[in-house]
Chains A and B, each alone.
Chain A
C-alpha cells in the first residue's frame, strides 16, 4: 500500500492507496502512531484505496479513538465497496465520512 502524508500545522492529511489488509495494516498503524502527536484534525483520504479488511478497520478504529481525545478525524473519498464494509460493521456510525 501507499501512505502519503501532508501536514499543515495541526492538520494532517493521510492519503491511502492500494490494499489495507493483514499484511499492510501494521505499516499504517506504525505510521499513524508516529504522526499523531499534536494533530488536531486528521483526514484519511481513501480515494485510491482499493481494498480494506478487518485488520485495516482495527487501525482506523484505533486512530479514531486517539483523535476523539485530541481533536477530530474525517474520512474522505470512500468508494462504494469500502462504504459497504463500513456499513455492515457499523463503522458508518462511528466515523465522520465526507
Chain B
C-alpha cells in the first residue's frame, strides 16, 4: 500500500519549475531517497512538468498541475502528475532514434526517452478529465 508523502498544486508554467523540483527533491530526500535516484527523478520530473506547461493548456488560458508524492513498497518513490489539459499521452509517441548522427538528429524528442530509461515504471492514464502520469523509481 502506497504511503502518501505530500501533494501540491502548481501553476502549469515554466516559472514554477524550480518550486516543483524543490518540492519533489526536498520531500523525497527527507523520505530517504538516495542521491542517484533523486537526480533521475528530478530530470524526469522536469521533462513531465515542462511538457504540461508547454502543451497542456491552450495559450492564454493558464492551468494547473497537481503533484502527488508517495512511497511504494520496495521502497520506491512514486511521483504523480495530474493536469486538466488537453488529452495527451507522452508515452504514445515512438522513441527518439538515438542511433542517428548529430546532423540527422532532430532537436528535441529526447526528454521522454530519458524519462523511460531513468525510471523503473512510467504510466499514463486519462481519468475524470485529467491526464495522470506516474513515475516510479526504486531506491536501490
A interface list, Cβ under 8 A from B: 21-23, 51-55, 57-58, 61-62, 64-65, 68, 81, 85, 88-90, 93-94
Residues of A contacting B: mostly: helix
In the complex, A90 Cα to B98 Cα: how many Å?
Answer: 5
Check if B101 sits within 8 Å of A94, measured CB to CB: yes
Check if A53 sits within 8 Å of B39, measured CB to CB: no
B interface list, Cβ under 8 A from A: 14, 17-18, 36, 39, 42-43, 46-47, 50, 96, 98-103, 105, 107-108, 110-111, 113-114, 117-118
Closest Cβ of chain A: how far from B135's Cβ, in Å? 14
Known contacts A51-B39, A53-B43, A55-B50; is A88 also within 8 Å of B17 by CB?
no
Closest Cβ of chain B: how far from A68's Cβ, in Å? 6
Known contacts A55-B50, A65-B103; is A88 also within 8 Å of B14 by CB?
no
Known contacts A54-B114, A81-B36; is A23 also within 8 Å of B17 by CB?
yes
Total A-B contacts with CB atoms under 8 angstroms apart: 60
Chain A residues, CB < 8 A from B50: 22, 55
Closest to B47 in A: A54
Given contacts A57-B110, A68-B103, 17 further A-B contacts (CB under 8 A): A21-B17, A22-B46, A23-B14, A52-B43, A53-B43, A53-B47, A54-B110, A55-B50, A61-B102, A85-B43, A88-B113, A88-B118, A89-B96, A89-B98, A89-B110, A93-B99, A94-B105
Chain A residues, CB < 8 A from B36: 81
Of the candidates B14, B98, B107, B108, the one whose C-beta lies within 8 Å of that of A22 is B14
